[in-house]
Amino acid sequence: MRAVVASLALLLCTAAIAQDKPKLAEVDVMGDLVTVNGYWEPDNPTKHNELVPTENKIQCFRHGGKEANIVRTEGYCIVATAMMVNGHPHAEFSFEAVTSWTEDEIVMSDSSSICLVTKTIIDLKRKTVIALDVRKPEAKGLWDTCLKLPDRQSYYLRDEVDYILFHKDAK
């Protein structure tokens, strides 16, 4: 039994040392339903763009958004998030309009933020997800908070297990 535990511990240590790049969250495509789970990570992590650990689940439906009066487009995504806030669990979800759905990708665009427009791109060929925040040039925000944000910031959706086991805080 001790040999099994020792072997497992050695395997985990070796995996942690050997991992040089994070595993991306993998998109599941089931016809007109697309799902993915993961944690957002900035492409170039720094202390200034570090994110609160937030689990994300995205489910996209190719049809039904207009008919059900959920969004103004035919395709839509349900984006659910969960995180700890001051030691208490916090969860929320939103309906996002799909601006484009092709064989290659699904694109969502959200401009509801005061400072940013967020584009989320689900790559159906590579089965990965990226997001891009672009600061609205005209937005200033309360006490000019928008002006303190970078012009743009890109993110990737990281695999849940990989994030939990191997995430390192920014330096």
pLDDT for the residue numbered 106: 98
Q: Give alpha helix (H) positions in 19-159.
A: none
Write out pLDDT tens, residues 118-134: 999 999 999 999 999 99
CA distance 138 to 147: 9
Is 4 a member of any domain? no
Q: Work out whether strand 88-101 and strand 28-30 pair parallel, antiparallel, or are unpaired.
A: unpaired
CA distance 156 to 34: 17
Cα–Cα nearest to 157, from 140, 137, 132: 132
Mean pLDDT over residues 133-160, rounded? 93
pLDDT band, very low/low/confident/very high, at 19 (cuts 50, 70, 90): low
Number of domains in the chain: 1
Is 8 a member of any domain? no
Is 93 a member of any domain? yes
Is 63 a member of any domain? yes
Mean pLDDT over residues 139-161, rounded? 93
Is 9 a member of any domain? no
76 phi and psi, to 5 degrees? -155, 160
Question: Per-residue pLDDT for 59 more than 60?
Answer: yes
pLDDT for the residue numbered 132: 97
Give the structural domain span for 60.
23-166
pLDDT for the residue numbered 143: 93
Is 72 a member of any domain? yes
Q: By percentage, how much of the chain surpasses pLDDT 70? A: 88
- How would you class 142 by CB atoms within 10 Å of its CB: exposed for 0-12, middle for 13-18, buried for 19 or more? exposed
Is 10 a member of any domain? no
pLDDT for the residue numbered 45: 83
pLDDT band, very low/low/confident/very high, at 62 (cuts 50, 70, 90): very high
Is 14 a member of any domain? no
